[in-house]
């Protein structure tokens, strides 16, 4: 009996020891699992933080690209050619500008309708009566045409300057651009000088400089006088500089009119 009890006690001790070992192993596994879970959680948190940062960067880049897109769209698709009456004219109150003699709606800024795409043509294809064809925008196939008026509504005789400024050029398209300026019935065609000879193109006046197409003065603009302007712009296909490299080019210009008062006798 004593031996049996002793054996039973020994067996109980072994079972208890095994239970303790199992508990220790379970605790170790739980610690290991807990550490793994914490590491995994940290990795997930780090990955989520990176994804959030990446999303913010992508959103900022998208917004930036959208801003650039709309700025370029406004610059190149809206009012590629405008006419601006200098602010000093408004102060003197002598000269006004409008695009229709039938409806003299005076404005400080006039804008020609744009053409989304033009290809090269010959200037000979443009109607001979383009100056008297219509008021405002009257574009044709592959050319821009715009007619407007200046009137001296003051009591004094004045001079004024008119100039066409080059705002931007893409892919050197200005090498083959022609700008015809009609003042009343007088016509002058402006072009960039030949890149090889450095001489004016045939039947043209060379651009004033790299920033201006032209600059001219109209003298003795008397009270009640009305001047009619027609501006025609095209790409001259007969220009030696009209080559395939110009395809996709653009040119942005605007015209300014500045009043100049003179002493009256």
pLDDT in tens, 33-59: 777 777 777 777 777 888 888 888 887
Tell me the CA distances in angstroms from 124 to 120, 127, 128, 143, 235, one per residue in order: 12, 8, 8, 12, 12
**What is the reported pTM?**
0.68
pLDDT, greater one: 15 or 16: 16
* Cα three-residue angle 137-153-161, rounded to 5 degrees: 65
pLDDT at 217: 95
**Does position 130 have pLDDT exceeding 70, yes or no?**
yes
> What would the pLDDT profile of 197-232 be if each residue is shown by its tens digit?
889 999 999 999 999 999 999 999 999 999 999 999
Question: How far is it, in rounded angstroms, from Cα 108 to Cα 130?
Answer: 24
**Does position 61 have pLDDT exceeding 80, yes or no?**
no
Which residues lie across from 254 on neighbouring strands?
Answer: 82, 165
Question: Which pLDDT band holds residue 10 (cuts at 50, 70, 90)?
Answer: low
Question: Which pLDDT band holds residue 73 (cuts at 50, 70, 90)?
Answer: very low
Question: How far is it, in rounded angstroms, from Cα 48 to Cα 9?
Answer: 57
Question: Which pLDDT band holds residue 86 (cuts at 50, 70, 90)?
Answer: confident
Question: How far is it, in rounded angstroms, from Cα 213 to Cα 210?
Answer: 8
Q: What is the mean pLDDT of the chain?
A: 82
Question: How far is it, in rounded angstroms, from Cα 51 to Cα 45?
Answer: 10
For the chain, the domains span 1-77, 79-261
Structure tokens at 27: 């605790």
Question: How far is it, in rounded angstroms, from Cα 59 to Cα 31?
Answer: 42
């Amino acid at each position: 009996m004593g031996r049996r009890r002793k054996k039973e006690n020994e067996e109980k001790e072994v079972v208890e020891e095994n239970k303790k070992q199992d508990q220790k192993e379970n605790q170790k596994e739980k610690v290991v699992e807990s550490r793994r879970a914490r590491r995994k959680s940290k990795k997930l948190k780090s990955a989520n933080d990176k994804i959030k940062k990446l999303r913010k960067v992508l959103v900022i880049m998208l917004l930036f690209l959208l801003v650039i897109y709309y700025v370029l769209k406004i610059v190149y698709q809206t009012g590629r050619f405008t006419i601006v009456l200098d602010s000093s004219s408004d102060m003197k109150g002598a000269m006004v500008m409008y695009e229709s003699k039938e409806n003299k709606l005076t404005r400080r800024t006039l804008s020609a309708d744009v053409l989304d795409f033009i290809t090269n043509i010959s200037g000979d294809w443009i109607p001979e009566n383009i100056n008297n064809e219509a008021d405002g925008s009257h574009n044709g196939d592959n050319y821009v045409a715009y007619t407007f008026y200046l009137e001296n509504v003051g009591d004094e005789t004045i001079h004024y300057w008119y100039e066409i400024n080059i705002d931007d050029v893409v892919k050197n398209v200005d090498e083959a651009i022609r700008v015809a300026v009609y003042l009343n019935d007088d016509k002058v065609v402006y072009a960039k000088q030949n890149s090889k000879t450095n001489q004016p193109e045939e039947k043209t006046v060379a651009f004033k400089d790299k920033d201006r197409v032209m600059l001219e003065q109209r003298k003795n603009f008397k009270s009640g006088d009305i001047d009619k302007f027609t501006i025609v712009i095209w790409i001259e296909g007969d220009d030696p500089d009209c080559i395939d490299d110009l395809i996709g080019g653009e040119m942005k210009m605007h015209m300014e009119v500045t009043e100049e008062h003179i002493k009256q006798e």
